[in-house]
Structure formats: structure tokens, C-alpha cells
Structure 1
Amino acid sequence: MRIDLHTHSSASDGTDTPAELVRNAAARGLDVVALTDHDTTRGHAEALAALPAQLTLVTGAELSCRVDGVSMHLLAYLFDPDEPALFAERELVRDDRVPRAKAMVRKLQDLGVPVTWEQVARIAGEASVGRPHVASALVELGVVPTVSDAFTEDWLADGGRAYAEKHETDPFEAVRLVHGAGGVAVFAHPAAAKRGRTVPEETIARLAEAGLDGIEVDHADHDMPARQRLRGLAADLGLLVTGSSDYHGSRKDIALGAHTTDPEVYAEIVRRATGAFPVPGTGGPATA
């Protein structure tokens, strides 16, 4: 069984529509895929309507968090999307995305980059605007060769010259909210140092004490020493270990299913969840 528990669609900062994403996941031979757009569940309905017969969809979201001045992301799986407290917090984060993106555009203009808000808005389309859309604008302008190259201290990385803060949830509160909505909480790419500062292991231990369910270990931004260290940490703290692609379509060069989650870990995530359940495909339409 091939299980990818971290993907993004055009409902946030991916390039595949939700329908395209589930069809592409099936074509890549996946059995289970999680749709975890940033701070939104808006793509779930379209993905479910197009779900191929051979694929199971895990509904989720990737929540924007910050602790001790460090940005981090929390993957929330199988929660009730209508639970009021978690819904309200997701809306706070989403509502701050446009002002933040406009602030980054202004900083880039001050640095001499001829980017405009209209350009970023066009790239984002109907999606929740975020840093990858600003990064794509820099690629269009020839400022950087790839989206990943925009996430440096020179440009959009945490603390970078054009970085702007947004509302981000305290992760301890996020874990509480996810559990309150019947979901399961997993720390996304905790050792992705090239994105900026990372959360220290002492904080991960405190999150585990507060109910964190797992950490994402097998990820493109983790080298082998980091993965070995994280596996040891997970074993010490009693945390589940997941793996996934963090797929963004053509915005990044990582393929669906590039990293996967052990079926026994997936089964434990499903067992712990009470807010929602994986949805087996019944045969979606052949085209969008």
C-alpha cells in the first residue's frame, strides 16, 4: 500500500486543481492520498467528487503556526471541518494572507524588484495567496531561477529581506484545537533548515507532552542524518513517524508518492481520528 499524507492543490499554493491532484495520485499508483492545503479545506469537495475508484482520500489541512519566534507547520488529519473553534482559527490565518502578501510585494519593490500585487494576485487566482505565489512572481521576472531559490534570506525565507509576518497559531493551541475537532496532529518537515530556523527538540518534546501525535520524517527537505535523528527522537517521545511528498504540482520538482507513510502508521492515524474518516473512491469522472 502506497500512502502520501501531505499534498497541496490550487486551493492553496499547488498548481493541480483538487480534481487533477487525486487523478494524478491514482495515476502514480498511490492507494491513499491526503489533501492538506494551507489553512483551508476548500478543495476537499472537488477532490471527493473526482476521486478515482482505486484511491482513498484523507481530508486534512496544513496549519500555519509559530512558537518562540520560529515558524512551523502542523498537519491536521481527519478533523471535523465545521468544528467552530478550529474553523475560526483557520479563518484568522486565512484573512491575514492578503495583507501579508501585499507587505511582501512592497518590500520587494523597495528592493528594486518590479513585482506588482496584480501579478501576484493573477498567479494565485482563486487560491489562498501565500509566499509561493510571490516566489512564482520572482521566477516570472527572472529574479530567481526557481521557486525554491526565492526562499532564502535574500528574499522570502523567514527573516529574509522581503519576509513579512502573518497571524500564526501557537502550536500548543493548534494541537488542542485539532484534537478538539477529532483530528490527528503531525509536525510537518521539522528539520527543514533551508526554510529558516527550526524548532528545537526540547520544544518538540513539550509538544509531545501536550498531545502531538507524530512528526513527518521522510521528506525531501530532510537529509539522511536528519531523518535518522528524527526517527530516534520519535522513538524516545512515542510519536508516529510519517513520510510524504509535500507535492505542489509544477511549483516544485517533487513527485507524488516520492516519500510515503507506513501502512501501520496510517492505520493508527485513522484509529485515533474521530472527526472524519478516510473516503474510498467510487470512481470519479475521467476529466475535470
Structure 2
Amino acid sequence: MRIDLHTHSTASDGTEPPSGVVGSAARAGLDVVALTDHDTTDGWAEALAAGERLGVRVVPGMEVSCLLRGVSVHLLSYWHDPADPALEAMLDASRTSRRTRARRMVERMTAETGLCWEDVLAHVHGEATIGRPHIADALVAAGVVADRDEAFATLLSGRSPYFVPHTAPDPLRAIALVRAAGGVPVLAHPAASKRGSCVGDADVEAMVGAGLLGVEVDHRDHSEDERRHLRELARSLDLLVTGSSDYHGTGKRNLLGENTTAPEVLQEIESRARGAAAAREVRGA
């Protein structure tokens, strides 16, 4: 069984609609795929319906954008209640901040690039969570850069004069809210040093104390040494180990199924989600 638990659609910063991601998963020979758009569950219904048609099991998920002492932390959540009011309030604040931040960045670079906000909105599908990838797509369309990679290495990098930080929740709070909403939280690509600063082992241990249940080890942005270290850390902290593609369609070079999760791990994730759902029913949540 081939399982990929980290993908993105046009509901956030992917280039394929949710049904398109599932179709691509089917063509890639995947049996299970999770849709984990940034800070939104808007693509779930479409993806689940496509999975029914195409014979691909779809795991409903999300990637929560967090910040810890200025370091970007991404948290994958599986099977949480999308209507949980506390979690949704946190996500709504993050989405609003992302949109405001993106607009300010565009305003800063207009004089040099000629880009305007309407150019960016042309690359946003519906109510998708707006982020730097949409600015990158507008820059590519305008001929300012060749692709997203060049955009992020130059105009959109954290060292760029146009960069604007955004507000994001502390990962400990996000983990607690995901657990309260019945979800299973897994730390995404935590050792991807090529992306910038990373959290340390002590930070991961603190997240376990807040309710973290797993860590994404097999990811293309992790070196072999980083994967080895994360496996040892997961073993010491009794964390589930996942592997995923972090697929974004043509927005990234990542290929569906290039890293996968073991069936027994998915079974454990689902078991814990069922247990959380049963506990919420008892509490009347």
C-alpha cells in the first residue's frame, strides 16, 4: 500500500484543484493521499468525492503555519473537526495575517517589479489561503523571475527588502487546539535546514508535552543525516514516523509518492483519531 500524507491544492498554494490532486495521486499509483492545505479545510469535500470516484482513499488534513521565536514551524493535522470554533478562530487570524502580509509585500515591490495586488489575485483560486507562492506565480507571469524557486531565492526571501513577517500561532497552542478538535498532530519537515532555521530537539520535546503525536521524517528537504537523527528522536519520544511528498503540483518539483508512510502508521493515526472523536462525543464537544 502506497500512502502520501502531505499534499497541497489550489485551496492554498498548490496548482491543481483538490480533485486534480486526487487524480494525480491515482495516476501515481497511490492508494491513500492526504490533502493538507495551509490553514484551511476548504478542499476536503471535493477531494473526498474525487477519492470515491477514483478509488483512492483520501485522508482529510491540514498544515498549520506556526512560529516559534521567529522560526517557521509547520504542523500537519489529520481528521480534526473542521467546525471546531477555537481552532477555526486561530486559523482565521492566520489567514487574515497572511493576506495582509502578502499585500504589503506587493506594495513594497511595485516600483521595481510593476506588480500590483490585482496581478496576485489573478493567481488565487476562490477563497484560497493567500501566501508568497501566489506572489511568486504573479512574478513568473510578469516575466520578472523564471519560476517559484527563483522568486523565493530573491524577491520573496526572508532577506529581501520586500519581506514582511506575518502573525502565526505558537506551535504549542496550535497542537493543543488540534488535539482538542480531535485531530492527530504531526510535525512537518522539522529538520529542513536548507529552508532556514529549524527548531531544536528540546523544542520538539516540548511539543510532545503539548500533545504532538508524530514527526514527518522522510521528506525531500531532509538529508540522510537529518532523517537518521529524526528517527532516533522519534524513537526516544515515542512519536509516529511519517513520510510524504509535500506535493504542490507544478509549484514545486516534489513528486507524489516520492516519500511514503507505512500502512501501520496510518492505521495508528486513524485509531488515535477515532479515539479522540469518541472522547469528544463523551464530553459533548
Offset, 1:204: 1.1
- 1:70–1:199: 8 Å Cα contact kept in structure 2? yes
Structure 1 residues 261 and 210 mapped into 2: Cα distance closer, same or farther (>3 Å)?
A: same
Secondary structure of the residue that 1:7 maps to in structure 2? coil
CA RMSD of aligned residues (A): 1.7
Matched, 1:76 2:77: yes
Return the letter of the residue paired with 2:177.
L
Residues 4-153 of structure 1 correspond to what in structure 2 (within 5 A)? Answer: 4-51=4-51, 52-109=53-110, 112-126=112-126, 127-152=128-153
Q: Read off the aligned partner of 1:68 and give its amino acid letter.
A: R
C-alpha distance in structure 2 between counterparts of 1:250 and 1:131, whole Å: 15
Take 1:141 and 1:192, find their aligned partners in 2: how far apart are those partners? 30
CA shift for structure 1 position 196: 2.2
Spell out, residue by residue over 1:17-42, the C-alpha distance to the aligned partner (whole angstroms, 9 max, x if none): 11111121112111110000000000
Q: Which has the higher helix share?
A: 2
Shift of 1:94: 1.4
Residue pair 1:103, 1:164 contacting (<8 A) in 2 also: yes
Quote the residue 2:282 is aligned against: none
CA contact (8 A) 1:218 1:244 kept: yes
Residue pair 1:62, 1:74 contacting (<8 A) in 2 also: yes
Quote how far apart the aligned CAs of 1:161 are: 2.8
Unaligned runs of 5+ residues in structure 1 are 278-288
CA distance in 1, matches of 2:147, 2:198: 23
1:224 is displaced (CA, Å) by 1.3
Higher mean displacement: 202-211 or 261-270: 202-211
Q: Distance in 1 between matches of 2:129 and 2:210?
A: 30
2:13 partner amino acid: D
C-alpha distance in structure 2 between counterparts of 1:87 and 1:95, whole Å = 12
Look up the SS of the partner of 1:273 in the other structure: helix
Contact 2:11–2:125 at 8 Å: present in 1 too? no
Q: Which residue of 2 aligns with 1:281?
A: none
Distance 2:45 2:170 in 1: 28
The answer for unaligned runs of 5 or more in structure 2 is 279-285
- By relative contact order (CA 8 Å, sep 6+), the higher-ranking structure is 1
1:159 CA drift (Å): 4.7
Q: CA deviation at 1:276?
A: 6.6
Q: Please, what TM-score do these two structures have when normalized by structure 1?
A: 0.90
Q: Which secondary structure does the structure 1 equivalent of 2:6 belong to?
A: strand
